[in-house]
């Protein structure tokens, strides 16, 4: 099966190479223009600040691999953050219990998406567009738009603000462990291969004996759980939970995934690429700020980077397809 999946892949173009180049270029430029950019402390700070987007993005990768999308993760992060605050402050639960409940809530939110997508066969784009509004609306309703949970115990805040030995931010191990877990899941398990097969052709995957619905459902549940986890990291880092937490994070996560070379139509892509995508976006934002450039520029350059990367990929694909056109006819599968 795996040979069938890699048919039509251009022989040497990979988004990862492009992104490593982008990353090195960014580092070279910002080392000159930014104050204290090229320091170990800042490198760790980038890891710290990219944890939430990173968590969402690595779990978005399997979703996109199946040919789906999850627009609701940013809103679900907001809802989970607010519920965590509510459970801890108003229900008086100890924070570890509230945190566990928040993860369950994230899974349930993802489960709702999963049910609508697999049972009712609604397109993921529409379902998660709906739950994007739903989750954010619930978060606003719970806080009536104004309530802001603060004053969390330091034992909890340490997970987002504390540092381990060597100045390693406390959330780094969590985020690296999750990323490693997703890499193993997507690249080294049967489940991961099933996801690609589903992304290429759900019908084909079903005929090949893959439990398509179950796989797809799991992917959304896990994506929701990741939103719950990201919510905890977010609240611990910022020290507050408000209904607008994580607004727009879903788009940053999807940007990182697509930048990392995962096809938005599903089937091909890698978590490594996503990680590089997260890194190049985070370094870009951090470097611009340390170079005293306005935040708007980050938005512009993110757009340029994404469009540039996609155009370059299509260009290379066409180029290599033309070169191989005489050898095989099976190489043109680019739907764009």
Partner 1 sequence: MKRLLSLGPVLLSLAVVLSGCKPSAPDSGSTAPAAGSTSGGVPKPLTVAFLPKSKGNAYFIAARQGAEQAAKELGIKLLFDGPTEPDPAKQNEIVETWITRGVDVIAAACENREGISTALRKAQAHGIKVVTFDADALPEARSFFVNQATPEGIGNALTDEAARLLQGSGEYAIITASLTAGNMIEWQKAIEKRNAEKYPNLKRVALRPCDDLKDKAFAEATAILNANPNVKLLMAICSPAVPGAAEAVKQAGRVGQVKVIGLGLPNENKRYVKEGVTDTVILWRVVDLGRLTIHVAAALARGELKPGATEVTAGALGTFKISGDNVLLGEPFKFTKDNIDQFDF
Residue 276 contacts partner 1 per CB under 8 A: yes
The whole-angstrom separation of Cα 41 and Cα 169 is 10
Q: Smallest Cα–Cα separation from 253: which of 277, 237, 271?
A: 277
Encode 205-244: b = buried (16+ Cβ within 10 Å), e = exposed: beeeebebbebbbbbbbbbbbbbbbbbbbbbbbbeebbbb
The whole-angstrom separation of Cα 234 and Cα 238 is 6
State in angstroms the smallest separation of the CB of 96 from partner 1: 21
Residue 292 contacts partner 1 per CB under 8 A: yes
Residue 20 contacts partner 1 per CB under 8 A: yes
Residue 336 contacts partner 1 per CB under 8 A: no
Give 113 or 274: the residue with its C-beta nearer to partner 1. 274
Pick the binder of partner 1 from 201, 213, 240, 320 (CB under 8 A): 240
The DSSP result for 36-58, as a single string, is T-SSHHHHHHHHHHTHHHHHHHH
User: Is there a contact between 271 and 61 (Cβ–Cβ < 8 Å)?
Assistant: yes
The whole-angstrom separation of Cα 175 and Cα 172 is 5
Stretch that binds partner 1, among 88-96, 109-117, 122-130, 267-275 (CB under 8 A): 267-275
Beta bridge partners of 240: 150
State in angstroms the smallest separation of the CB of 237 from partner 1: 8
Q: In the numeric block, which tokens belong to residue 216?
A: 């797809």
Binding mask 99-138 for partner 1 (x = CB under 8 A): ----------------------------------------
Q: Which residues contact 158 (CB under 8 A, 6 or more apart)?
A: 170, 236
User: Is there a contact between 2 and 190 (Cβ–Cβ < 8 Å)?
Assistant: no
Residue 153 contacts partner 1 per CB under 8 A: no
Q: Under rule CB under 8 A, which residues in 296-325 are in contact with partner 1?
A: 296
Residue 43 contacts partner 1 per CB under 8 A: yes
Q: Residue 150: helix, strand or coil by DSSP?
A: strand
The whole-angstrom separation of Cα 88 and Cα 96 is 9
State in angstroms the smallest separation of the CB of 222 from partner 1: 21
Give 113 or 286: the residue with its C-beta nearer to partner 1. 286
Give 120 or 146: the residue with its C-beta nearer to partner 1. 146
Pick the binder of partner 1 from 96, 123, 145, 151 (CB under 8 A): 151
Residue 14 contacts partner 1 per CB under 8 A: yes
The whole-angstrom separation of Cα 269 and Cα 254 is 13
User: Is there a contact between 224 and 80 (Cβ–Cβ < 8 Å)?
Assistant: no
Q: In the numeric block, which tokens belong to residue 197?
A: 């097969």
Rounded (5°) CA angle 70-211-73? 10
Stretch that binds partner 1, among 34-42, 223-231, 301-309, 310-318 (CB under 8 A): 34-42
State in angstroms the smallest separation of the CB of 123 from partner 1: 29
Pick the binder of partner 1 from 125, 145, 155, 187 (CB under 8 A): 187
Give 92 or 295: the residue with its C-beta nearer to partner 1. 295
Residue 332 contacts partner 1 per CB under 8 A: no
Q: Smallest Cα–Cα separation from 255: which of 219, 295, 305?
A: 305
Give 114 or 182: the residue with its C-beta nearer to partner 1. 182
Binding site for partner 1 (CB under 8 A): 2, 6, 9, 14, 16-17, 20, 23-24, 27, 31, 34-36, 38-43, 45, 49, 148, 150-151, 157, 161, 187, 234, 237-240, 242, 244-245, 270, 272-273, 275-276, 279, 286, 289-290, 292, 294-296
């Amino acid at each position: 099966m795996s040979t069938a999946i890699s048919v039509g892949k251009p022989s040497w173009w990979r988004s990862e190479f492009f992104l490593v180049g982008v990353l090195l270029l960014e580092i070279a430029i910002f080392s000159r223009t930014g104050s204290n950019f090229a320091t170990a402390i800042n490198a760790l700070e980038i890891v710290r600040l990219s944890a939430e987007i990173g968590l969402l993005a690595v779990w978005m990768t399997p979703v996109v691999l199946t040919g789906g999308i999850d627009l609701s993760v940013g809103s679900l992060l907001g809802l989970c953050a607010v519920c965590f605050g509510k459970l801890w402050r108003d229900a008086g639960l100890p924070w570890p219990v509230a945190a566990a409940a928040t993860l369950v809530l994230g899974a349930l939110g993802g489960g709702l998406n999963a049910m609508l997508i697999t049972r009712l066969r609604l397109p993921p784009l529409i379902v998660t567009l709906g739950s994007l509004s739903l989750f954010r609306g619930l978060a606003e309703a719970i806080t009536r738009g104004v309530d802001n949970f603060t004053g969390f115990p330091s034992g909890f805040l340490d997970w987002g603000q504390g540092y381990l030995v060597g100045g390693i931010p406390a959330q780094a191990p969590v985020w690296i462990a999750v990323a490693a877990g997703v890499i193993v899941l997507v690249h080294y398990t049967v489940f991961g291969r099933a996801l690609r097969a589903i992304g290429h052709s759900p019908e084909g995957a079903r005929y090949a004996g893959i439990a398509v619905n179950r796989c797809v459902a799991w992917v959304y549940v896990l994506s929701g759980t990741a939103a719950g986890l990201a919510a905890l990291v977010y609240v611990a880092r910022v020290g507050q939970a408000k209904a607008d937490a994580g607004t727009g994070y879903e788009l940053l996560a999807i940007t990182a995934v697509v930048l990392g070379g995962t096809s938005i139509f599903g089937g091909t892509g890698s978590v490594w690429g996503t990680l590089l995508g997260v890194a190049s976006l985070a370094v870009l934002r951090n470097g611009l700020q340390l170079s005293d450039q306005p935040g708007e520029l980050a938005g512009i350059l993110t757009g340029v980077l994404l469009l540039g990367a996609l155009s370059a990929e299509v260009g290379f694909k066409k180029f290599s397809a033309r070169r191989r056109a005489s050898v095989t006819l099976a190489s043109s599968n680019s739907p764009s």
